[in-house]
A and B are shown apart, each in its own frame.
Chain A
Amino acid sequence: KAGVTQTPRYLIKTRGQQVTLSCSPISGHRSVSWYQQTPGQGLQFLFEYFSETQRNKGNFPGRFSGRQFSNSRSEMNVSTLELGDSALYLCASSDPGGDRTEAFFGQGTRLTVV
């Protein structure tokens, strides 16, 4: 079974631009969550999508948005990039069906805003 795939792996953008990151979950997994990891704030939850609906949202500004497609693939978009958006963005997929719902993570997209 293929793991979680995130593309691209690395990205350099200029302040003010927008960026779209992609995540393909494990086949059969319906839930996709996004996390931002920075040295200062650690790992922070952005949002979760389940069956194309946003089910949960973290405390991030509206510049951060996402969506999920019918095949469970998800994208997250960040508009009007700021220097502070430089981070490792991790996507996790899971198949909620009980208490033990471990999340399987991709390798992340490392975004640098200059």
Chain B
Amino acid sequence: AQKITQTQPGMFVQEKEAVTLDCTYDTSDPSYGLFWYKQPSSGEMIFLIYQGSYDQQNATEGRYSLNFQKARKSANLVISASQLGDSAMYFCAMREIGGGSQGNLIFGKGTKLSVKP
């Protein structure tokens, strides 16, 4: 069963505007972590932001914030003031960490973001 769903294969945003990339997840583990990664055309996966399942507040890292709605099992990434350099693939990922184990990352299919000047 697919555990991470990113429903937007591609998104366009105007430079300097904000954009929301959607991510829903499915897990029965009460303890998990949610991650967003950026992958430019060079191939490297760049860590952006993390949200733990027990975190009370939404995570923020500079221009990135995570809109975490636990009951809906969604973890949307918000990028404020988009820049041309934000054009890339964006992946949502989850790690189930119940029982003290460090599980592997499970990735969504990704969203290709294109920032228009």
Contact = CB atoms under 8 A, between A and B. Distances in A.
Interface in B10-57: 31, 33, 35, 37, 42-47, 50, 52, 54
A30 B91 CA distance: 24
Contact of A102 (B43, B47, B91): B47
Interface residues of B, number: 26
Contacts of B33: 99-101
Contacts of B52: 99-100
Interface residues of A, number: 26
What is the interface of chain A mostly: helix, strand, loop, or mixed? strand
Contact of A43 (B46, B91, B95, B97): B91
A96 interface: yes
Nearest to A50: B102
Given A99-B97, A100-B52, A105 B45 contact: yes
A16 B105 CA distance: 30
Interface of B: 31, 33, 35, 37, 42-47, 50, 52, 54, 91, 93, 95, 97, 102-110
